[in-house]
Amino acid sequence: MMEMAPRSRIEVSLPARINVVGSPTDAVEGAYATISAAVELRGGATIEAADGIELRRPSGAHATFARGPIVDAGGFDVEAAALNALLRYAPELAEGVCRHGAAITTWTDIPVSSGLAGSSVLVLAVLAALRAFYGLDPRRYNDYVLAEIAQRAEEIDLGVVCGFADRYVPLFGEIAYLSYHGKLWHAPLGDEPLVTYEKLGDLAPALQFCVATTGVRRDSGAVHAPMRARYLEERRRGSGPLLALARQLGETAWRGKMALLAWDLEAFGRQITRNQELIDAMMRLCGGAGGGAGEEVGVLVAAAQAAGALGAKLTGAGGGGAVFALPVPGEEHGLADALRAAARRAGLSGCEVFVLPVAKTGLAVSGSPLGR
């Protein structure tokens, strides 16, 4: 039987992610790969003992619920989705929640709806906090399983058409080659392979990225949903223009991996640029605004290329969000200044520009779990 530790408190944090090359095959297709990287913008959660289930944010927003699944989230949809999903997959959690309540406070430094996996980071933070606080078996509910539960929380509970990179990269960190082989149909947990997560950081040069948000919020699910529906239709037929583009995207990932491991940043950058060209073609095919991934994205990608970036592309679903650029080593801050100037000229008043190293640490947990 679990006993309450009077002042038990867990703190977790996770980094944002960028899909460097190969995207959006993580969301659209289940036979290819991406190179994705965790970057040093973080979000997280704290969890401590409470009478009921309390959800809080630093803004002062606060809601209290009965101990169990949350039906009406009252604006805390992301947190409720994480709790509800974990309750479905971890029956022992239901017993713990019935015995002991918890107060969960989420926080983030990741710009909202920017294509940097901000919502996924918060889902993962709540899942990881609950796992630690209630002492769930870390072997049964390991980080691979947690990533898969997070994807189901967003796709099933939040109704967001989404893939897997955003749920794996914040947990595992570093820059990695992610294979999605066998995950095309988004089958129930246990009925398809886990993502293969191959860290590349020890074999590749240390990288920094210039990341520029457009200031235009976008719903990644709204972008991915029509694209994925069309892709699956073509996949069933065995042919089609979107299917052909996806196969070319798959090539950018493995060619990018070869270039990165050879320390050939120019060749790596060319695959990033090729990836953006393919994304624009996919978005035009699926009716994307601005003749591709979006006018704001196009402005920032062009500015990065004009300023000497080795490669540049959007980080997420398009239609807004953010762009990243791979700078020539040592020229990061000059490239960042060029992106700021381009944003000003384009009237992108909400643009934020960051120079971000790859985050070596994914999930970070501190504190004492319940009953320990």
Confidence of residue 4 (pLDDT cuts 50, 70, 90): very low
pLDDT, one tens digit per residue, over 139-154 is: 999 999 999 999 999 9
Contact criterion met (CB below 8 Å) for 171 and 143: yes
Tokens of residue 362, six digits = 């994914």
Q: What is the pTM of this model?
A: 0.93
Q: Are strands 196-199 and 175-179 parallel, antiparallel or unpaired?
A: antiparallel
Residue linked to tokens 């210039």: 210
pLDDT at 30 over 90: no
**Residue 302: count of CB within 10 angstroms of its CB:** 13
**What's the one-letter identity of residue 22?**
G
Confidence of residue 7 (pLDDT cuts 50, 70, 90): very low
pLDDT, one tens digit per residue, over 262-299 is: 999 999 999 999 999 999 998 888 876 555 668 889 99
pLDDT, one tens digit per residue, over 83-100 is: 999 999 999 999 999 999
pLDDT at 372 over 50: no
Contact criterion met (CB below 8 Å) for 214 and 294: yes
**Residue 31: count of CB within 10 angstroms of its CB:** 15
Contact criterion met (CB below 8 Å) for 49 and 122: no
Alpha helices in the chain (DSSP H): 25-28, 77-89, 91-99, 118-133, 143-152, 165-172, 220-237, 241-261, 265-285, 295-306, 332-345
pLDDT at 300 over 90: yes
Confidence of residue 329 (pLDDT cuts 50, 70, 90): very high
Confidence of residue 220 (pLDDT cuts 50, 70, 90): low
Cα 105 from Cα 111, distance rounded (Å): 18
**What's the one-letter identity of residue 233?**
E
**Residue 283: count of CB within 10 angstroms of its CB:** 24
Contact criterion met (CB below 8 Å) for 322 and 212: yes
Write down the pLDDT at residue 102.
96
Q: Give the count of alpha carbons within 13 A of 306, CB side only.
A: 11
